[in-house]
Structure 1
Amino acid sequence: REVIIGGAALNAEVEAFFQKIKFPFTVGYGMTECAPLISYDHHDDFVPTSCGSVLEDIMEARIDSPDPGKIPGEIQVRGENVMKGYYKNPEATAAVFTDDGWLRTGDSGIMRGRRLFIKGRLKTMILTANGQNVYPEEIESKLNNLPYVAESLVVLREFKLVALIYPDMAAVEAAQLSVDQLPQLMNENKGILNKSVAQYEKISSFELVDKEFEKTPKRTIKRFLYH
């Protein structure tokens, strides 16, 4: 028996905790257009931060990158369980397939052997002033694990990365802290975060927001509303 996790990247802290207590879990990756599974590993074979190995015999995957094992690129797939196209929508079908018949997933990642490691969605990727690709989800995941952070969003403003932070007010009150202390607390968090990311992923500043970020029915943040 095992628990299979999917739908979004697993929080690194949660993943580490599950491994520490030897909880039988694994992470899979898929999409409706692939009916729905693309990759999976039994929990005994699971590699941390991965989303499993591409299904053997029925599925192929490739990374649109000059170095698929190191440089992230779009994950593209083909196989028996991949759809033929969208019903009565040839334009959408043409947009989602490459000229040589591979399905564009819209996700960016790397692949080592048959094992996939997702970095983020292509449409959320941030291109910095020095040409580096930044995947905000990875930074946000680290930031969300820090004290007094309920959720966060990383955006690009004037060629610099800025973190929008919705504080965990319940935790602040439980610690008997005041709202006036939040800027100092978050500045400390910024310092901790910047020590754990690459130079081009460092946050230059942060802004506190007073309400939760607006979300889709799938509970993902509507990034287009925040700039």
Structure 2
Amino acid sequence: MTDRIWLQSYPPGVPAEIDPSVYRSLVELMEESFRKYADRVAYSFMGKDITYAQVDSLSQALAAYFQSLGLVKGDRVAIMMPNVPQYPVAVAAILRAGLIVVNVNPLYTPRELEHQLKDSGAKAIVIIENFAHTLEQCIGHTEVKHVVLCAFGDMLGLVKGAIVNYVIRNRRKMVPPFNLPQAVRFNDAIARGTRAPFKAPSIGPDDVAVLQYTGGTTGVSKGAALLHRNIIANVLQSEAWNQPVMDKIPKGEQPTTVCALPLYHIFAFTVGMMLTMRTGGKLVLIPNPRDIPAVLQELSKHKVHSFPAVNTLFNALANHPDFNKVDWSHLKVSLGGGTAVQSAVARLWLEKTGCPICEGYGLSETSPSACCNPVTSTEFTGTIGVPLPSTDIKLLDDEGHEVPPGQPGEIAIRGPQVMAGYWQRPDETAKVMTADGYFRTGDIGVMDERGYFRIVDRKKDMILVSGFNVYPNEIEETVAECPGVLECAAVGIPDEKSGEAVKLVIVKKDPALTEAAVRAFCRDNLTGYKQPKIIEFRTELPKTPVGKILRRELRDKR
């Protein structure tokens, strides 16, 4: 272990270590909250509040239903939904029945869904009807025998629920026709489970809780096997990290977190849903974060204390004319993750909310949080911060040797939040785990004398121009400062002279922005070999549903 020089940068009161053994399982954590906070609002969705007590009874009924189907401890159940309250109910039910959650991106194509269902061996799926047509096209090639079918209005009450479902199905035509004769409606499954016996299985810290599939940007999508203790550890690490500012919430005021990131993504799953559950907070579920006016309208109804988001969402919100309709004065922590936060966006956010964006870093394989800037920071650092409590990080060269301070190396992480391995892929696990238990991330970083880490880039995203390393993040960070640029992405393209050259794709904030202006700005701010050879303007950048820019697609569509 390194000498952990980053501990000197911890805010007062944040411990160097946490104890994940305080709970044997996530079920213990959830059931404690169901008891302690029974009357509190757990989830707020489309104007409807759902209490901890309701989540308790609904999830136990659904757990009994799963058991009545013959599902046994260790079986996998997929969830394919946006941020609707059935999601956390399903998660609690699956875990209480001793089953394993398989988080699925609802925007998957039939081919992608089939791969994940087959790879995980899922026997059941909880899916919203809007995407049932995708499942219909591939279910016959999988082991899935049981389908629980949800609709947006299921938990909104009879009248409002019926109206919402009618509008979504008939007015907005958001539910393509499908045929899944074996499907059971969510509320019917709850009713059946209420009449069925529930037998709580014995669940321990080393049981698998979640299969979290990595985005597949490095090849085939693999399931990171996250144990109960991995996610418990990350919840406790995140709670300890946020404590210095969350302690400032006035007594008697319920901590409120915005969940605009999708729950199938591990960032929202752990830092949104599970951390809020542990602290007895209220989670505001945002089903469609791309509808910025609707997001702002929803947030105007709440006192928001915590807001985990990605750079693209912070940027879109802060640039929207309705931004000031939300009272941001209660905001204690704005957590940026998933992808690099740009300093231009961070500056605008701080100017408009008074709450700086604390950039963090993590991966599906680390449940996800590994590093974060102190929540007491008053300015944006442009780094990913320091390792969280009980987390050790070192930087390795290609041979696996630790590099000296100030030198770039591959970030390798060890801590209680690091996955058990990739689901049924010991060969892939061996490629990323070192003999002494560090997970090799594939990200290149540098550590400064205070223990702060800075991402230089992913190994594979590096552009090699005439033997010089060019890192896309640096170019994007710089060009984002150019007046008139809303967002941008840099990729490498083949070049006869230099091997590779930089291509820059820009979305304009100011329609009058010209290529000449961008080139002049780049000449002033980037050394010769880093300057883009090709500049292209687009109306939008290709992104994952979480908001990460898909550089691969920009490379492929030259």
RMSD after superposition:
2.7
Corresponding residue SS for 2:510: helix
Q: 1:81 aligned to 2:417? A: yes
Aligned to 1:127: 464
The alpha carbon displacement at 1:38 in A equals 0.5
Please give the per-residue CA displacement for 1:68-124, whole angstroms capped at 9, x wherever unaligned: 543322111112221121121112211221344320112111112432111222211
Percent identity of paired positions between Structure 1 and Structure 2: 29
How far, CA to CA, are the matches of 2:527 and 2:429 in structure 1? Answer: 37
Count matched residues.
213
Change (3 A) 1:30 1:148: same
Aligned to 1:92: 428
Please give the per-residue CA displacement for 1:30-61, whole angstroms capped at 9, x wherever unaligned: 122112211123332466111121123x1110
Q: 1:195 aligned to 2:513? A: no
Corresponding residue SS for 2:392: strand
Q: 1:13 aligned to 2:338? A: no
How far, CA to CA, are the matches of 1:70 and 1:201 in structure 2? Answer: 22
The structure with the larger Rg is 2
The letter of the residue matching 1:192 is: F
How far, CA to CA, are the matches of 1:72 and 1:194 in structure 2? Answer: 26
Q: Contact conserved, 2:502 with 2:531, CA < 8 A, in 1?
A: no
Residues 160-175 of structure 1: pairs in structure 2 closer than 5 A: 161-168=501-508, 171-172=510-511
Aligned to 2:439: 103
Q: 1:36 aligned to 2:378? A: no
Q: Contact conserved, 2:472 with 2:490, CA < 8 A, in 1?
A: yes
Corresponding residue SS for 2:421: coil
Change (3 A) 1:148 1:212: same
Structure 1 stretch 62-71 or stretch 81-90: which is displaced more? 62-71
The alpha carbon displacement at 1:213 in A equals 4.2
The alpha carbon displacement at 1:208 in A equals 2.5
How far, CA to CA, are the matches of 2:544 and 2:358 in structure 1? Answer: 26
Q: 1:186 aligned to 2:515? A: yes
Specify every segment of 5 or more residues in structure 2 that has no aligned partner in the other structure, as ranges: 1-331
The letter of the residue matching 2:337 is: G
The alpha carbon displacement at 1:206 in A equals 2.3
Q: 1:115 aligned to 2:446? A: no
Q: Contact conserved, 2:357 with 2:380, CA < 8 A, in 1?
A: no
The letter of the residue matching 1:165 is: V
How far, CA to CA, are the matches of 1:115 and 1:206 in structure 2? Answer: 34
Q: Contact conserved, 2:335 with 2:357, CA < 8 A, in 1?
A: yes
How far, CA to CA, are the matches of 1:144 and 1:166 in structure 2? Answer: 9
Corresponding residue SS for 1:51: coil
How far, CA to CA, are the matches of 1:90 and 1:226 in structure 2? Answer: 34
The letter of the residue matching 1:50 is: T
How far, CA to CA, are the matches of 2:537 and 2:376 in structure 1? Answer: 42
The letter of the residue matching 1:48 is: T
Q: Contact conserved, 1:216 with 1:222, CA < 8 A, in 2?
A: no
* Larger proportion of strand: 1
TM-score, normalised to structure 2's length? Answer: 0.35
Aligned to 1:59: 391
* Larger proportion of helix: 2
The letter of the residue matching 1:13 is: A
How far, CA to CA, are the matches of 1:207 and 1:17 in structure 2? Answer: 25
How far, CA to CA, are the matches of 2:528 and 2:406 in structure 1? Answer: 17
How far, CA to CA, are the matches of 1:33 and 1:84 in structure 2? Answer: 9
Q: Contact conserved, 1:68 with 1:111, CA < 8 A, in 2?
A: no
How far, CA to CA, are the matches of 1:198 and 1:63 in structure 2? Answer: 27
Q: 1:2 aligned to 2:333? A: yes
Corresponding residue SS for 1:70: coil
TM-score, normalised to structure 1's length? Answer: 0.79
Corresponding residue SS for 2:422: coil
How far, CA to CA, are the matches of 2:407 and 2:470 in structure 1? Answer: 12
How far, CA to CA, are the matches of 2:510 and 2:458 in structure 1? Answer: 30
Correspondence for 2:546 among 211, 218, 223: 218
The alpha carbon displacement at 1:146 in A equals 2.3
Aligned to 1:142: 478
Corresponding residue SS for 2:355: coil
